[in-house]
Each structure stands twice: as structure tokens, then as C-alpha cells.
Amino acid sequence: MEAGKPVDSEKKHRLMVQQAYPATLDTPESEASSFVAGTVSQYACQRRTTLNNCNKKFTDAFEILAENYEFRENEVPCLAFMRAASVLKCLPFTIVRMGDLEGLPCLGGEIRNVIEEITEEGESSRAKDVLTDERYQSFKLFISVFGVGLKTSEKWYRMGFRILEEVKADKTLKLSRMQKAGFLYYEDLVSGVSKAEADAVSLIVKDAVRTFLPDALVTITGGFRRGKKIGHDVDFLITSPGLRQEEEVLHKVIDLWKKQGLLLYYDLVESTLEQAKLPSRKVDAFDHFQKCFAILKLHQQRVDTRSCDTSKESDKAEVKDWKAIRVDLVVSPFEQYAYALLGWTGSRQFERDLRRYATHERKMMLDNHALYDKTKRIFLKAKSEEEIFAHLGLDYLEPWERNA
């Protein structure tokens, strides 16, 4: 009324509707009317998925079940549950009854049963069982250490370890350099990275890179580019339109940070670009870029608010005014920048489906370096992500719509 005309419908305009009503009544007019379940694609790259998840109750359960399958190296149901979670994340409404699933892909068999139980009981007994499962709990703890994956977790579990204290207490265990750093900075790393911390790291990275490459393009990728407010690390993509000087820049940045005492850990992986030929066929393949997996010391103005009872100990000890942050730096040649950016922005599910779509729907091969058209037998050049979507015949999705 104030505007004197109809305005766009927003969340605050919604009426809270009783659960017994059809779910679509619960959604704003514009979203509900533009949403047709039968048009939801099986490919995440054809679905706009923001961080606004109306079906968290379901997707949380699916992700727990998927992870449990992953820990048991049971890939097929793991992927099925992850795909199902991804489909529900794009819906503009909350599932309240089984009829709401009509026309939606990837929600067959076992998955339907889980949904049914949650709509009826409010929770999934299977997911609850997994959460109390000893193996699941131990694997969760083990993989929370930087440098520990499924293989190591498996080994530790078979050795009888269940909690991290037991692993740490065993002095005969041979830990990798990465795992040692993982234990050393465990508390900081497990607490996650906030957007503010990511922005602070971003300044440090840009500053360092541009000291040596003034015209460098430094872009934050990964979850933060998709609008996430918290992440497990901060990912950066570095390139430069100049000649091949970008090969040296990572070494120089590392040396600078070492001198400044900012580098708590790093692993520099040299580029294997000259070995790369056609785009990789694998859906979850590693790329060939030069990269650095690091832990950076981020100095903070004010340390997090500690509770009073710990202040006695910290009277004696030096007050820690920094936080360890996981940072990934990736350097790409300028011609491959758009592909690298698309590949490193994620989400993982989005990337997986993008490659699957390219292969199965377009007879093309996509990876973090290039797009190859198998019919025309040519590489398709792209200066921007928009051009890559266009090559694939896909509507463009903004980074924040790739939270599949």
C-alpha cells in the first residue's frame, strides 16, 4: 500500500500455513507459479540452487546417510543420497507429504522411505542410528584432521583407535607432515573460517601476489564465491594476462610469507600441464594446475571471547592473537582462467553434474582446463564462465545459484 503498486513477494509476506495444507500454498506466489516439478532436471547444472534450503530436515539426514556409505566405501548409494539431497535443495517449498515429490528426479526407492519417515515422524531413525554408530563417529573425528582421509581413518579404526586422543597418545604412529600440522592447529582449523576471516586472508593474498605480479587477477573461489558465510578453507585462483611469469609467483609469495612468519604449513605442487591432453573423463579428477595447500597465520585484532575460567591459565601463557587458516592457492594460465574458475567455484555436486551433462548430453569433455567437442574434434575457447555455459547450451547460473 505504501508503494502504491504491487510489490515483489518476499519471505516476510508469507502466511504461516498449517502443515495439512498442500505444500505449494506455503510458497510465495511468484516462486510457486514459476515452479513446475516436472521440469526439475536430473542435472544440478540445470537447477538454480541457492543457500536457501527449505528442506534441511531431509537433506541433513541424506547427507549423514551418504557420508556413512562413503565411510564404508559404498559409492552407489552414497552418490544416490547426495544427488537426492541436491534435488531437494533447489525446491522453493518444503516437502510436507509424499505427493509433493511428484515429478521430481532422483528420489527413488530407499530415498522415498527416508522421506516418508521424516514427513510422518519428524526425523529419520536410520540417520539417528548412523549418528550413534561407533565407526561413523570415529571416522568423523579422524577426517576432521587436516591430511587425514578415508585410508588413514580406516587404518586407525582397524588399529583399535576410536578418538583422537588415542591416536595422539600412540608415539609409534608415523604421521605425515600434513597430519602433524593438522593436529598442531586442530582447534583453529576445525572451527571453520568466517566470511570476515576469508576477506582478511584475501587482502593478504592479493597484497603478496601483486607485489610480484602487479596485473595479476586474484579471485576468491570455492564456497565463499557461492556466498557461503562459513567454510573449511579459503580458495584462491591466480592468473595474469602477462607472459609466463605466473609460474614464478607462487614461489615468491611463499618466500615472502616465510620471511614474514605467516606460513605455518605449505605443500607446493608443481603444474603438470604439459602432461594434460584431452579433458579428463573422470568426474572427480584432480587438475594439473600449480597449487599450494597452506595454513596461514592470520593475526587478529581481538581474539574470540574466552570464558572467564580459562583466563587464569592464559595469564601465564602468551595470549594467542592469531588463528590458523587453511588456504588453497591455484595458479592457472590466462587462457584457461574461465575453466579454472568454473571448476574451483563448485559445489562438488554442481561440478560432477556439469561434467556428466557435458559427456552425456553434449558429447563434450569438460575439466578444469578445457572443453572438448568430440563431434567437431575441437577445443572450445572461453574467456568467461558465461561463454562456457553457452558452449554447453546451458542457461547461465550465477555462483550463488551453484550451491547444489
Binding residue numbers for Mg(2+): 233, 235, 328
CA nearest neighbour of 192 among 143, 230, 235, 220: 230
| Residue 222 interacts with Mn ion (CB under 5 A): yes or no | yes
Residue 72 in grid coordinates:
564404508
Q: Report, in Å, the least distance between residue 221 CB and Mn ion.
A: 8
Q: Yes or no: say if 83 and 349 are a contact pair by the CB < 8 Å rule.
A: yes
**Between 297 and 352, whose beta carbon lies closer to ligand UTP?**
352
Select from 26, 70, 233, 353 the one that contacts Mn ion (CB under 5 A). 233
**Between 182 and 346, whose beta carbon lies closer to ligand UTP?**
346
- Convert residues 166-205 into a mask of x (bound to Mn ion by CB under 5 A) and - (unbound): ----------------------------------------
CA nearest neighbour of 87 among 127, 45, 129, 140: 45
What SS3 class is residue 194? strand
| Residue 399 interacts with ligand UTP (CB under 6 A): yes or no | no
Select from 188, 197, 235, 401 the one that contacts Mn ion (CB under 5 A). 235
Residue type, 102: E
Q: Yes or no: say if 202 and 220 are a contact pair by the CB < 8 Å rule.
A: yes
Q: Report, in Å, the least distance between residue 403 CB and ligand UTP.
A: 9
Active site residue 235: yes
Considering the candidates 26, 100, 233, 287, report the single residue annotated as catalytic.
233
182 binds, among Mn ion, ligand UTP, none (CB under 5 to 8 A by kind): none
Q: Report, in Å, the least distance between residue 90 CB and ligand UTP.
A: 17
95 to 37, 55, 62, 209, 375: CA distances (angstroms): 12, 7, 14, 47, 42
Residue type, 132: T
**Between 26 and 233, whose beta carbon lies closer to ligand UTP?**
233
Q: Report, in Å, the least distance between residue 386 CB and ligand UTP.
A: 19
Contact set for ligand UTP, span 25-84 (CB under 6 A): none
Q: Report, in Å, the least distance between residue 221 CB and ligand UTP.
A: 6
Q: Report, in Å, the least distance between residue 304 CB and ligand UTP.
A: 19
CA nearest neighbour of 93 among 15, 20, 35: 35
CA nearest neighbour of 168 among 180, 155, 177: 180
| Residue 147 interacts with ligand UTP (CB under 6 A): yes or no | no
Active site residue 199: no
Gap between the Cα atoms of 91 and 24, Å rounded: 10
Q: Yes or no: say if 111 and 66 are a contact pair by the CB < 8 Å rule.
A: no
| Residue 343 interacts with ligand UTP (CB under 6 A): yes or no | yes
Considering the candidates 26, 235, 287, 367, report the single residue annotated as catalytic.
235
41 to 9, 14, 149, 365: CA distances (angstroms): 25, 27, 32, 20
| Residue 399 interacts with Mn ion (CB under 5 A): yes or no | no
Active site residue 207: no
234 C-beta neighbours (distance < 10 Å), count: 27
344 binds, among ligand UTP, Mn ion, none (CB under 5 to 8 A by kind): ligand UTP
Residue 214 in grid coordinates:
602487479
Q: In what order do the strands lie in the sheet with 371-373?
A: 364-366, 371-373, 378-379
| Residue 401 interacts with ligand UTP (CB under 6 A): yes or no | no
Gap between the Cα atoms of 170 and 74, Å rounded: 30
Gap between the Cα atoms of 42 and 63, Å rounded: 18
DSSP readout, 351-368?
Answer: HHHHHHHHHHHHSEEE-S
Q: Report, in Å, the least distance between residue 25 CB and ligand UTP.
A: 34
State which residue has the least CB distance to ligand UTP.
346
163 to 39, 147, 340: CA distances (angstroms): 46, 16, 38
| Residue 258 interacts with ligand UTP (CB under 6 A): yes or no | no
The one segment of 183-191, 238-246, 264-272, 341-349 that binds ligand UTP by CB under 6 A? 341-349
**Between 95 and 237, whose beta carbon lies closer to ligand UTP?**
237
Which residues of this protein are in contact with Mn ion, per CB under 5 A? Answer: 222-223, 231, 233, 235
Which residues of this protein are in contact with ligand UTP, per CB under 6 A? Answer: 222-223, 228, 231-233, 235, 286-287, 343-344, 346-348, 351, 368
Q: Any idea which residues carry the catalytic annotation?
A: 233, 235, 328
